[in-house]
Structure 1
Amino acid sequence: MKTLRLSALALSFAAFLAACGGGGTTAPSVTAPAAPLFTPGAGVPNTVGSFSRLVVFGDSLSDGGAYFPLTSGGAATNGIGGKFTTNSGAGPNGTVANPLANGSMVWPEMLATNLRIATTPAVVGAALGPAGSAENVVACPAAAAGAAAANTCTNYAQGGARVSNPQGIGRPTAAGAGALTYSMDRQITNHLARFTNFTANDLVFLFGGNNDIFVQFSTFAASGQTLAQAQANVRTAATQLVGLTDRVLANGGRYVAVMTLPDSSRTPFGRSLPSDDARFVLSGLVQLFNQTLLAGLNGKNVQVIDAYTLNNRVIDNPGTFGITNNTTPACDSAKISAATSGSITDGSSLFCSTTLNLGPAGTGTLAAGASATTYQFADGVHPTTKGHQVLTDAIAAEIKRFGWTN
């Protein structure tokens, strides 16, 4: 029955997308935004910026180590991981080094390095108790190194975060520790509380909505809502992201870039779904989000970076980008489970390591033959170090095309 239900709904979704303008071809390319869905406003900057801060709002695709305390808790996790990627960097006693210091970089850190600035997590910690009713956090851990370092605490992205709903993926619903999942709305509020406003020296990125789509898709797949309800909720999340962009602009944001979402149906997670119909529905929700986002941003003084098109190009032509595998995760779920004494069984790259010493010979938690520098995906949806480098290169090329960098 579920297969038949998905088949019928996939057909209706095809008609719906056609009526809205079709699939991903209406999104802007990574070389030039396309009419009619998005054209930047006349007031968007086209001159080189003097950037002193890289400010990022989003989810796990941009998380620079917000949950390191969850992965460094001694025997339960062996002190491994820290970011949603193929973590590396040797620490004491065979553990992985604190990723806030020298673990594998994710794209905001790579881009900041290119710009000769730095970005570090705005907060690290965990939510505790039912629905995260309590929190154990350290704000701006880099501040311990001095005032200059405190100015780098501008990566607000957190794994599991949604656009405006505080109950993100991984936040506790019962007793125990879990993810903070500060919504992008709260992330912006926290930035304004600390810095008062945005300045012309801030390079600002908004990259989120993935978790809103995952929540709506999983609720639909479990027969918890109709497809029409899932679509409406996805539209709402995209519209809320437009509103958050307006908020950044209203509070002084000048160099502001918003990123479309990659097609999660083409990730290893998407490939693991039980049918093409399920993948079609998931892809349709991503496209609907992007279409709504682009239409809402049209004419505003922002630029769009099209991660949707970039991801499709990489998947279709992996060798062009130096990638040898984009269908299976680099991280081995069985090895992660063994390294965490059975605490983590889903293969999450948050607990993945290329260097963890698991025995006398020393080995990481990568699958046999896998590599952080040739595989695209660390786990079902998150990039490896290579995947983040490809994304960084594309973003760097785009902001140069915008005229924001030399």
Structure 2
Amino acid sequence: MSLSRVRTAIAAATVSLLAACGGGGGDETPVGSAPAPTPPSASAAPITRLVVAGDSLADVGTFGLKATVQSASNPAGYPIYPEVVSQQLGTGALCSYFTSSDEGGSFATRPACTNFAVAGADIVNPVVRDGDDSPFSLKKQLESALSANGGAWKPGDLLVMDAGANDAAGLADTYLGAQRGGATDKLVFAALLGQQLSGSTIDNALSQPNGGSVAATLYMQQLARTWWAMVKANALDQGATRVVLVNIPDITLTPRLRDVVAGAATDLGAGGAADFQAAVRGWITTFNSELAAQAAGDSRVVIVDYFGEFTAEVAGAPAAGLTNTTQAACPATVDFPQCTDAALDAAPPAGAVAGWWKTWLFSDRFHPSPRGHELLGAAVLRAIQAAGWR
């Protein structure tokens, strides 16, 4: 099963549905409605439980695996970043609340589990994939987590979540399709924008020079506000005193987006491909900046700068214990169930020895290796420590 999703087909199907519903689905809210600060005493209780929401980065097994290198000898696999955090905090093993045996066609639940993350999830899950009624929606995950915990959060709870990378990747794919294609591709792009922006905002943006990128920037800004509204409604307004938000890394540095940028050079030229990469990076920066603005002044919230951490890992690989930050360890011809440590050790790159993959940053073309998860887990723990929560 492929856990990285290209959403052009979903967005295409959304065109008619959005038209039938009358246009954009997101309210464009003003910048920076400041939250009320919380006294430090509100988070004085020791952390006794970890609750997780997010996408494949945080999913410990909704579909029976983790989006990283698999362990051939240990069914529990290598720890991904929430498990690294849980191990250090002593909050116990994590298990997936949602489970699916048919790649997300239907879901069962395990009420005792506190990891609500689902691989492939979006902040704004398309209506053609059941929208907010599906665990592929961050809103559904957070609502389910709140309900499963009795409608209120306890003083010992720590909530950790990541989101937005899949939204950004889907936006990048659809934007590039509109740049390369014809009228239908442009409608697909407009339909995706309509999930967050009003028709008039889209029309105004698209009428400007480089209007597609302008519209995408507005989309990502609104997407950050939408995520914050979900966090506020389902966590902060319900008694949560410790919430960790992991922002979006620079996905243009992943093997998947590097390949997309290289492919764009064929149609758009080297300059156009460079402009595309810079645009995607700019959209993500806009999202992260807006998220930080929304959370500013709220002592209950810590934002982990994964964008900065991830960029530094790629730029300074040896300092991070990395020897490769551009390629995927898993062969392109296999999916995660077959990408085991034993299989990788049995077929090392030329000149490499067993365990070579342990110092690579990427497992497949879009997801971290076990070492990548160790680094992110350490960043989350540093942020928690800096906030005085442990």
| Common topology (TM > 0.5) | yes
Pairing partner for 2:248 from 261, 266, 276? 261
User: Which residue of structure 2 aligns with residue 339 of structure 1?
Assistant: none
User: Which residue of structure 2 aligns with residue 342 of structure 1?
Assistant: none
2:217/2:282 contact within 8 Å kept:
no
TM-score, length-scaled by structure 1: 0.69
Instruction: Note closer, same or farther for the CA distance 1:194–1:324 as it changes in structure 2 (3 Å cut).
Output: same
Q: Secondary structure at 1:327's aligned position in 2?
A: strand
Q: CA deviation at 1:278?
A: 2.1
Q: Does 1:200 align with 2:200?
A: no
User: Which residue of structure 2 aligns with residue 161 of structure 1?
Assistant: 121
Instruction: Note closer, same or farther for the CA distance 1:242–1:364 as it changes in structure 2 (3 Å cut).
Output: farther
How far apart, CA to CA, are the structure 1 residues paired with 2:346 and 2:258? Answer: 25
Q: Secondary structure at 1:403's aligned position in 2?
A: coil
Letter paired with 1:61? L
Letter paired with 1:287? T
The correspondence of residues 349-368 of structure 1 with structure 2, limited to 5 A, is 349=336, 352-355=339-342
How far apart, CA to CA, are the structure 2 residues paired with 1:107 and 1:53? Answer: 16
User: Which residue of structure 2 aligns with residue 215 of structure 1?
Assistant: 170
Instruction: Note closer, same or farther for the CA distance 1:115–1:366 as it changes in structure 2 (3 Å cut).
Output: farther
Instruction: Note closer, same or farther for the CA distance 1:39–1:86 as it changes in structure 2 (3 Å cut).
Output: farther
Instruction: Note closer, same or farther for the CA distance 1:107–1:158 as it changes in structure 2 (3 Å cut).
Output: same
For structure 2, which runs of at least 5 residues remain unmatched after alignment?
Answer: 1-31, 179-185, 190-211, 263-272
1:125/1:138 contact within 8 Å kept:
yes
2:345/2:356 contact within 8 Å kept:
no
How far apart, CA to CA, are the structure 2 residues paired with 1:284 and 1:350? Answer: 34
User: Which residue of structure 2 aligns with residue 305 of structure 1?
Assistant: 304
Q: CA deviation at 1:42?
A: 4.8
User: Which residue of structure 2 aligns with residue 395 of structure 1?
Assistant: 380
What RMSD, in angstroms, separates the aligned Cα atoms of the two structures? 2.9
User: Which residue of structure 2 aligns with residue 235 of structure 1?
Assistant: 221
Q: CA deviation at 1:200?
A: 1.2
Q: CA deviation at 1:181?
A: 5.2
Comparing 296-305 with 372-381, which one deviates more in the overlay? Answer: 296-305
Pairing partner for 1:246 from 232, 255, 263? 232
How far apart, CA to CA, are the structure 2 residues paired with 1:167 and 1:329? Answer: 32
Q: CA deviation at 1:322?
A: 0.8
Q: CA deviation at 1:352?
A: 2.3
Instruction: Note closer, same or farther for the CA distance 1:39–1:195 as it changes in structure 2 (3 Å cut).
Output: closer
The Cα offsets for residues 274-298 of structure 1, whole Å up to 9 and x where unpaired, read as: 2322211211111111112111212
User: Which residue of structure 2 aligns with residue 31 of structure 1?
Assistant: none
Q: CA deviation at 1:303?
A: 1.5
Q: CA deviation at 1:47?
A: 5.7
Instruction: Note closer, same or farther for the CA distance 1:63–1:372 as it changes in structure 2 (3 Å cut).
Output: farther
Instruction: Note closer, same or farther for the CA distance 1:37–1:327 as it changes in structure 2 (3 Å cut).
Output: farther
User: Which residue of structure 2 aligns with residue 189 of structure 1?
Assistant: 143
The correspondence of residues 77-88 of structure 1 with structure 2, limited to 5 A, is 82-88=65-71
How far apart, CA to CA, are the structure 1 residues paired with 2:99 and 2:124? Answer: 19
2:98/2:135 contact within 8 Å kept:
no
1:84/1:350 contact within 8 Å kept:
no
Q: CA deviation at 1:60?
A: 0.9
Q: CA deviation at 1:46?
A: 8.2
Q: CA deviation at 1:261?
A: 1.1
How far apart, CA to CA, are the structure 2 residues paired with 1:349 and 1:112? Answer: 23
Q: CA deviation at 1:382?
A: 0.8
2:43/2:155 contact within 8 Å kept:
no
1:85/1:350 contact within 8 Å kept:
no
Q: Secondary structure at 2:326's aligned position in 1?
A: coil
2:247/2:307 contact within 8 Å kept:
yes
Instruction: Note closer, same or farther for the CA distance 1:37–1:260 as it changes in structure 2 (3 Å cut).
Output: farther
How far apart, CA to CA, are the structure 2 residues paired with 1:138 and 1:312? Answer: 37
Q: Does 1:67 align with 2:63?
A: yes
How far apart, CA to CA, are the structure 2 residues paired with 1:256 and 1:45? Answer: 15
The Cα offsets for residues 130-160 of structure 1, whole Å up to 9 and x where unpaired, read as: xx7x51x3322xx7xxxxxx2xx11111111
Q: Secondary structure at 1:66's aligned position in 2?
A: coil
Pairing partner for 1:138 from 97, 108, 113? 108
Q: Does 1:103 align with 2:77?
A: yes
Q: CA deviation at 1:115?
A: 1.2
For structure 1, which runs of at least 5 residues remain unmatched after alignment?
Answer: 1-35, 69-81, 91-96, 144-149, 173-179, 337-347, 357-361
1:85/1:385 contact within 8 Å kept:
yes
Pairing partner for 1:54 from 50, 53, 57? 50
TM-score, length-scaled by structure 2: 0.72
How far apart, CA to CA, are the structure 1 residues paired with 2:320 and 2:35? Answer: 28
Letter paired with 2:231? T
Q: Secondary structure at 1:372's aligned position in 2?
A: helix
Letter paired with 1:332? P
Instruction: Note closer, same or farther for the CA distance 1:253–1:267 as it changes in structure 2 (3 Å cut).
Output: same
Q: How many residues are matched? A: 308
Larger helix share, 1 or 2? 2
1:332/1:365 contact within 8 Å kept:
no
2:42/2:241 contact within 8 Å kept:
no
Residue identity over aligned pairs, in percent, reads 25
Q: Secondary structure at 2:66's aligned position in 1?
A: coil
How far apart, CA to CA, are the structure 2 residues paired with 1:390 and 1:88? Answer: 19
Q: CA deviation at 1:89?
A: 3.8
Instruction: Note closer, same or farther for the CA distance 1:51–1:37 as it changes in structure 2 (3 Å cut).
Output: same
Q: Secondary structure at 1:229's aligned position in 2?
A: helix
